Amino acid sequence: MTVTGPPRPPGSGTTGGRRGGDREPTLAGPRGEGLAATPGHLCSRPPRYPKDPSTEAVPTTISAAPAAAHRTGHPPRARRGRPAQNGAHGADGGRGDGARGATGPTLDRVRGPDRREVDGRVLVTRNELARISGEREHTLYKWWAARARNGHPDGITLDGRLYVDEQQWRDWRAGHSADRRMLDGRVVVSRTELARVTGTPISTLAQWYGERARNGHPEGIKIGSRLYVDEQQWHLWHGEHTAALKAGLSEIDRGGDPDELLTITQAARLLGYADTSTLTSYRGRGQFVEPDHTETLPSGRPRRYWKRRTLWAFADQRTWSRPMDRPAGVPGVGGG
């Protein structure tokens, strides 16, 4: 490409900013084309100075070699032709006679089946396990990744996909989620199982375990993500713990007719409380027995009565103590 450039105006420097430098002069194209050129590229820009035929400079030839060849020293590679719509190529490797913008055939990844049978065993993928078990795939992956610790079945890789034996996985899952397990010849149980057997709320069991440094609760055993305790050790501790709690209970009046009806004030006195506020609090939390008899006063308010034998049975079933009656070393109130 041949372009010419007019002389620079007097006083104008070369590059390097406003005060001059060593920049190459901008080369302007022929009049009317509105092109300015620098070595290596063209840009659409109007000439900076008007064309003056009397002072026209000698034409200069600029190399139009691609920049890539200048940088690497190697000639640019020829582009591959695009496939035609029907997959045919032209003689020059370009597009065939297909419609403009059409694309050639593509290769899609073919996935293996999620369930397959090998040597009489049914193998399933993690995706299939998530479908049949309802567990998240992320949870299934965490179990598999921790198989050295939790006993998860090993996987089998077939055609680039990981499978596990379905029956082995189901057997492992049943044991992994069990509330009662055998460990080194002893029975360990989860907190859910203890709540079911003893009737103690799970929140109370969690409180006891959290205070094990003070109350002597047995240490837990972590299997997977679940916490277990030795069943025999826990029941021995629970008996001692309950006895210690009962030792802090108020004294009970065991005299009188077992079938005699007592008001709430008399019931509080029988149970050793100074007033009725404790029984009222128990009733509000659902921790007190229902009355044996209720009558309506002329004012419309109910009056409740309890038999002595009912109050004695309630006193024998208490397993919590008031803070003021609790002996040293006994933890706080816990229901059940």
Q: Tell me what pLDDT residue 4 has.
A: 52
Residue 172, Ramachandran bin (φ over 0: left; ψ between -120 and 50: alpha; else beta): alpha
**Sequence-distant (≥ 6) Cβ neighbours of residue 302 within 8 angstroms:** 294, 295, 296
How far is it, in rounded angstroms, from Cα 26 to Cα 308?
113
Q: Are 334 and 282 in contact (CB under 8 A)?
A: no
Matching residue, tokens 């038999």: 307
- Helix axes 166-176 and 126-133, enclosed angle (nearest 10): 50
Which single residue is written with the structure tokens 């305790």? 229
If residue 132 lies in a helix (H) or strand (E), which one and from where to where? helix 126-133
Q: What is the pLDDT of residue 164?
A: 92
Q: How far apart are the C-alpha atoms of 220 and 230, rounded to whole Å?
A: 8
Burial of 59 (C-beta count, 10 Å sphere; 0-12/13-18/19+): exposed
Altogether, the residues listed in the chain come to a count of 336
What is the reported pLDDT for 185? Answer: 82
What per-residue confidence (pLDDT) applies to 47?
53
Q: Does domain 180-247 have CATH number 1.10.1660?
A: yes
Handedness of CA 141, 144, 145, 151 (dihedral sign): positive
Domain ranges of the chain: 1-69, 115-176, 180-247, 261-317
* Distance of alpha carbon 3 from the chain centroid: 66
State the pLDDT at residue 331.
37
pLDDT along the chain (336 residues), means of 10: 54 50 52 50 52 51 48 59 51 47 54 85 91 87 85 87 91 78 85 88 91 91 85 92 75 86 91 87 87 92 92 79 39 36
pTM of the predicted protein model:
0.38
pLDDT of residue 332: 37
Predicted pLDDT of residue 61: 45
Domain formed by 115-176, architecture: Orthogonal Bundle (1.10)
Tokens of 320: 């919590």
Q: How far is Cα 232 from Cα 194, in angstroms, rounded to an integer?
A: 11
Using the Cα atoms of residue 140, residue 144, residue 149 and residue 153 in order, give the sign of their dihedral.
Answer: positive
Q: What is the DSSP letter of 287?
A: -
Determine the 3-state secondary structure of 54 from DSSP: helix
